[in-house]
Structure 1
Amino acid sequence: QLRGAGPAIAGINVYRKDNAAMAESIHALASKTTALLEAPSPDVGSIDLDGGFLGEAYGLPSQEMRDAVELVARMEGVLLDPVYTGKSMAGFLGQIMAGRYTEKEAVVFLHTGGSSGLFAYEEEFAAR
C-alpha cells in the first residue's frame, strides 16, 4: 500500500559496484513516481539493494545469470536478457532460496524487457 508510510524498495544492483550511488538514483526515480501518486517518498536510507549479483562487471555474463535465464525460460516460457533482468532474477532466486521472503509476503519482480538482448549472448547458451 503506497498511502501511508511509502513503498518498501528492495532491489538487485547489477549496474554499479557502488550500492550507495545506485540507491540515490533509485531514490530519485521513486520520489518522482510517488509524487505522481501523491504518496510519501521513501527515505534513501531505506532502499535495500543486494549488490552480490553484479558478477565481474556490468554486461559480463555470470554463471548465476545463465542458470536463472535457463530456469525461467524452461519453467515459465519467459525470456530474460542477460545484462539486467537475468542477473536480477538470479539475485531474486538467490534471495528466495536464502529465505528472505515469507510465503505470506507479496513480492513483485519487475521485468524491464530487453529479451532481444539475449541473442547477442548466443555463445553463452549454445552449449547448454
Structure 2
Amino acid sequence: MGFKLPDHKDRAAVAAKARAAALEKFKTAAEPTPEELAARDARAAAAEEKRLAKLAAFAAKREAQRQAAADARAAKEAAKLEALNRIILSEEEELAAKKAERDARYAARKAAKSTAKAVKKAKRT
C-alpha cells in the first residue's frame, strides 16, 4: 500500500478482507435458542397486533367521518326538499285562492245573468 494513494489492488484487498470478516462473523454467530425465537415471535405478534389495532381505529374513524358527511348531505337535502315543498304548497294555495276568486266571479256573473233573464221574462208577461 502506498503512502497516501492506495491503488486498486489495495482497495480490493481491503474490501475482500472486510467481506470475509463479515462472513466469518455471521458463520460463528450462535443459533438462537427456542426461548429467544419464542420471544422474537411474541414481539413480532405484539407489533402486528398493535399495527392491526391502529389500522382498525383508523378505519373506524374514517368510516365515522364518512357517515357524518353522508348524514350532513342527507340533512341538507332534506332541508332543501322541505323548502321546495313549502314553496310548492304556497303556490298551490295561491292557485286555489285565485281559482276560488275566479269561480266566485263566474258564479256572480251567472247569477246576474239569470236574474236579468228572470227580470226580462217577468217584464214580458
TMscore range, shorter length: under 0.3
TM-score (norm 1): 0.17
Q: Which protein is richer in strand relative to its size?
A: 1
Q: Which protein is richer in helix relative to its size?
A: 2
Greater relative CO, 1 or 2 (CA 8 Å, sep 6+):
1
